[in-house]
Structure 1
């Protein structure tokens, strides 16, 4: 393996080992922020005159996400995790109360290229919150303070956990543990999205359940590592190995889906990766493409057309 490639991943892989040491000696280094999120607020449906509140809301949410340190690891500015938070305000039933949906996306840069791979793509359909202009947003891992900071902190830790999983097998566990605590604390609020609902499985409770609590979907976390670290990152230098490992990642996702079909973690993975897979595998061998398509048709039948195109290449 190229020595620069080796050094790059040794450095990222050491982050988990450094975590405990630096936690014990926090004064040794000054740490930078880890996230670089853009918040976009669509208020077309809000039907209120004072739209300045949404500008303040955007700035407040971005400051909460990007202006604090979520870990004790040191991130260079170019290493910060990029993401988008698209908030659609569906209703304002009374002054200061908002009903919204949220689309969360994060990307992960691919080594040796300018390409950024969509790592997480999730639609949170049920978020109700109260916002007062200029209100400070505080967060406590062990206490539910409000429905804004809890949701933002939840997805911050999901973004961190998945990013770390792409560099090391189960490297993001410490962040998923925090996200799980946030869900457990928020359940006492009775707010939608935090509880074990049978009618709405696309919520925060089921997302962290599939990612962290349930062992059924642990293979998808391993798939994140094979797909990114052993797949996309090696595509320029060892393409045959990379394609084989991308196939291995698809097998791991298919195994979870076979045990429990249509899990939210499975759906989220495919929502992020279906387009990319259908493009990247065009240059793989016919053997790999054939096996991959067979698995993809089982896991993600809604995108059968694009996967079948792989067999025509």
Structure 2
């Protein structure tokens, strides 16, 4: 009897653990708060208690990782790796914070231990309120706070772009959710970064670009870049480079319709080093083609791309 009971609980434990692995939340997000008192302009006096930033960091991390963002089941190994680094720049009042945030996500490359960065975006107007013990809950139909809206917006952007890299425009539903969050926040908050008259590198324009029909072929190209080319790069580098050149030529056509778009700039900010490494291993003809395209599409990094001509 004891042997039967032991076997029963062993099997039950295995089922529970296996189930938890299958329905694990979608993100493996690392949130870091940088808050050096000598770098912060504060209207509330000297910052002596840094515990608030530790709690803030923990609360944001738990919100990103414990919220169920999709109806899909994720194994633990399938979670999307992402980082949010928030640098506090000012504290205009009690519980009020102004900051810059870097939002980055990556995905594994098939058959390797290499992680390819999918998104690296700098939010220069990351403004929010936070008070110790504050509950953060996601409700896609309601605005609760600017902080919850910003984190929810980026969670859906991260998931949408990740899905795009595995199936053609597979992340549409989540990019549309991000746009809906942006629209609601623009109506309910005083944050101009949600509005169309904001800085062209704002959250509004990031969401607009990723949902614009004019940019759909760019999103379709993400599948070509990652799933077709990068995932097969180790097996056939020449073919992968040829496919990436086709993708870059497509981006060139898109750039004529939407010049200097935030998503085009963000893509090359994210991928420039990777593209240089990929084409550095190619034949001279592909290097020249890549150099000419990259300098035209991303002229601010021309000096960096010049490595391809040496």
Deviations 1:240-284 (A, max 9, x none): 221111112222222221222110000110011001100111112
Q: Pick one of 24, 28, 44 that aligns with 1:32.
A: 24
Shift of 1:287: 2.3
Shift of 1:30: 6.4
Instruction: Determine which structure has more spread, i.e. the larger CA radius of gyration.
Output: 2
What secondary structure sits across from 1:126 in the alignment?
Answer: strand
Q: Does the CA contact (< 8 Å) of 2:241 and 2:279 recur in 1?
A: yes
Q: How well do the aligned residues superpose, as a CA RMSD in angstroms?
A: 1.6
Q: Does the CA contact (< 8 Å) of 1:128 and 1:192 recur in 2?
A: no
Q: Pick one of 236, 239, 247 that aligns with 2:237.
A: 239
Could you tell me the TM-score, scaled by structure 2's length? 0.88
Residue of structure 1 equivalent to 2:268? 270
What secondary structure sits across from 1:102 in the alignment?
Answer: strand
Residue of structure 2 equivalent to 1:306? 304
Structure 2: runs of 5 or more not aligned: 1-20, 41-45
Q: Does the CA contact (< 8 Å) of 1:33 and 1:75 recur in 2?
A: yes
Q: Does the CA contact (< 8 Å) of 1:223 and 1:248 recur in 2?
A: no
Q: Does the CA contact (< 8 Å) of 1:110 and 1:232 recur in 2?
A: yes
Residue of structure 2 equivalent to 1:191? 191
Q: Pick one of 259, 262, 266 that aligns with 1:261.
A: 259
Aligned 1:5-24 pairs, distance under 5 A: none
Q: Does the CA contact (< 8 Å) of 1:83 and 1:104 recur in 2?
A: yes
Q: Does the CA contact (< 8 Å) of 1:31 and 1:69 recur in 2?
A: no
Shift of 1:234: 0.4
Rounded Cα–Cα distance in structure 1 between residues aligned with 2:122 and 2:272: 16
Residue of structure 1 equivalent to 2:43? none
Rounded Cα–Cα distance in structure 2 between residues aligned with 1:119 and 1:163: 7
Q: Does the CA contact (< 8 Å) of 1:105 and 1:122 recur in 2?
A: yes
Rounded Cα–Cα distance in structure 1 between residues aligned with 2:195 and 2:142: 16
Deviations 1:224-253 (A, max 9, x none): 111111111001112222111111222222
Q: Does the CA contact (< 8 Å) of 2:128 and 2:147 recur in 1?
A: yes
Aligned residues: 283
Residue of structure 2 equivalent to 1:51? 50
Structure 1 stretches of 4+ moved >3 Å: none
Rounded Cα–Cα distance in structure 2 between residues aligned with 1:311 and 1:75: 43
Rounded Cα–Cα distance in structure 2 between residues aligned with 1:223 and 1:270: 14
Rounded Cα–Cα distance in structure 1 between residues aligned with 2:228 and 2:146: 38
C-alpha change, 1:183 and 1:175, in structure 2 (3 Å) is same
